[in-house]
């Protein structure tokens, strides 16, 4: 393997992101052992280590080449549970061909097939999205996950509360999400973070899901981000909700309820005042659309 310079700007930017996510007390000692970890894994898996991918808030992600197999991605994280959960879920979904192949896993590390494709555009067909979600849910076994959807809800709403302390509607959104999670209509192995940034559009294989935060819970959750994609009004979101629910065989009212629950998260993150108002209107009932 090639020696990696952990002091380059790309590596240091990743260290900063990991420190923000896990805290310096966790990240610093882990980072101090990183060169040795790379040497051990590089030898074991016959890797030529390349440059950091430059993204990811929970892992150092590196381009690399595996002897005899080709281009790969090596993910290393201070949280061994994240790596273990990802490797387990990706192996569950392997038969769907909708995720990268797992070529190796170890404590805090996952070696994956590299998929050199871009993310889907805002005009991606909802039928393609439904195909991806349906294939993942059909292939995965929810009992394979050690995390429940309620864990994910607690985490994500807590994260947004810390990140956006003045955000409106988070308490009500969380309460609704927990009520929905307590009564799943169909329990599946969820990707858990299935937004367009975690999907690649491969010309040969179609949409490919990456970077899961797997958990077991209500199937409709994986569709929520796609309802809000490339639309900016409650009426447009409701139409997309109906189309996705129909394509996936979901209960439309259940999917819409999940959209309402998560709307405060999207409102907190958007910089568009008009879209924020539309999203918060869902939580208050002001923008609830009655279908004619």
| CATH code, 104 | 3.30.200.20
Where residue 1 falls among pLDDT bands split at 50, 70, 90?
A: very low
How far apart, in whole angstroms, are the C-alpha atoms of residue 82 and residue 38? 18
Tell me, what DSSP letter sits at residue 206?
E
Residues 93 and 158 occupy one common structural domain:
no
How far apart, in whole angstroms, are the C-alpha atoms of residue 62 and residue 167? 35
Residues 79 and 155 occupy one common structural domain:
no
Average pLDDT over residues 33-49: 96
pLDDT of res. 197: 94
Residues 97 and 133 occupy one common structural domain:
no
Average pLDDT over residues 186-193: 98
* Domain assignment of residue 290, yes or no: no
pLDDT at 291 over 50: no
pLDDT at 289 over 50: no
- Pull the structure tokens for residue 7: 């002091």
Q: Please tell me the number of Cα atoms within 13 Å of 5 on its side-chain side.
A: 4
Where residue 2 falls among pLDDT bands split at 50, 70, 90?
A: low
Q: Which residues of 70-91 are buried (b: 16+ CB within 10 A; e: fewer)?
A: eebbbbbbbbeebbbbbbbbbe
pLDDT of res. 55: 82
Please name the helix (run of DSSP H) or strand (run of DSSP E) that holds residue 163, with its range, or none: helix 149-163
Whether 48 contacts 114, CB under 8 Å: no
Among 3-12, 170-179, 201-210, whose mean pLDDT is lowest? 3-12
Residues 267 and 143 occupy one common structural domain:
yes
Phi–psi pair at 176, nearest 5 degrees: -65, -45
How many CB atoms are closer than 10 A to CB 28?
A: 14
Residues 73 and 162 occupy one common structural domain:
no
Please, is 201 exposed, middle or buried when counting C-beta atoms within 10 Å of its C-beta (0-12, 13-18, 19+)? Answer: middle
How far apart, in whole angstroms, are the C-alpha atoms of residue 73 and residue 53? 9
Q: Look up the domain containing 152 and give its range.
A: 126-284
* Domain assignment of residue 43, yes or no: yes
% pLDDT > 90, the chain: 90
Q: Is the dihedral of CA 289, 181, 220, 121 positive or negative?
A: positive
pLDDT of res. 83: 97
How far apart, in whole angstroms, are the C-alpha atoms of residue 22 and residue 34? 16
Q: Which residues of 205-230 are buried (b: 16+ CB within 10 A; e: fewer)?
A: eebbbbbbbbbbbbbbbbbbbbbbbe
pLDDT at 144 over 90: yes
pLDDT of res. 230: 86
pLDDT at 190 over 70: yes
- Pull the structure tokens for residue 291: 């279908």
Average pLDDT over residues 75-104: 98
pLDDT at 256 over 50: yes
* Domain assignment of residue 275, yes or no: yes
Residues 79 and 156 occupy one common structural domain:
no
pLDDT at 7 over 90: no
- Model confidence over 156-184: pLDDT tens digits? 999 999 999 999 999 999 999 999 999 99
**What pTM did the predictor assign?**
0.93
* Domain assignment of residue 118, yes or no: no
Whether 241 contacts 250, CB under 8 Å: no
Residues 146 and 277 occupy one common structural domain:
yes
Residues 146 and 244 occupy one common structural domain:
yes
How many CB atoms are closer than 10 A to CB 167?
A: 19
CA-CA distances (angstroms) from residue 264 to 39, 156, 276? Answer: 44, 11, 9
Average pLDDT over residues 52-79: 95
How far apart, in whole angstroms, are the C-alpha atoms of residue 96 and residue 108? 25
């Amino acid at each position: 393997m090639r020696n990696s310079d952990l002091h380059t700007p790309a590596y240091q930017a990743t260290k900063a992101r990991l420190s923000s996510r896990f805290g310096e007390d966790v990240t610093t000692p882990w980072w101090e052992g990183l060169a040795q970890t790379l040497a051990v894994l590089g030898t074991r898996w016959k890797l030529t280590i390349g440059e950091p991918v430059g993204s990811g808030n929970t892992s150092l992600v590196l381009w690399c080449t595996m002897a005899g197999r080709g281009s790969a991605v090596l993910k290393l994280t201070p949280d061994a549970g994240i790596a273990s959960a990802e490797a387990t879920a990706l192996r569950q979904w392997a038969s769907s061909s909708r995720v990268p192949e797992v070529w190796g896993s170890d404590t805090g590390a996952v070696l994956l097939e590299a998929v050199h494709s871009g993310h889907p555009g805002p005009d991606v067909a909802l039928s393609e999205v439904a195909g991806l979600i349906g294939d993942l849910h059909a292939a995965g076994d929810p009992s394979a996950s050690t995390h429940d959807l309620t864990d994910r809800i607690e985490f994500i709403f807590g994260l947004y509360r810390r990140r956006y302390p003045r955000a409106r509607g988070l308490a009500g959104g969380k309460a609704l999400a927990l009520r929905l999670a307590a009564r799943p209509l169909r329990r599946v192995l969820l990707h858990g973070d299935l937004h367009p940034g975690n999907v690649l559009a491969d010309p040969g294989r179609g949409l490919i899901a990456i970077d899961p935060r797997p958990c077991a819970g209500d199937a409709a959750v994986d569709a929520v981000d796609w309802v809000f994609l490339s639309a900016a009004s409650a009426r447009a979101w409701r139409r997309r909700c109906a189309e996705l629910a129909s394509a996936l065989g979901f209960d439309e009212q259940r999917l819409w309820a999940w959209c309402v629950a998560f709307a405060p998260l999207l409102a907190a993150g958007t910089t568009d005042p008009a879209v924020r108002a539309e999203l918060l209107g869902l939580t208050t009932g002001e923008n609830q659309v009655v279908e004619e």
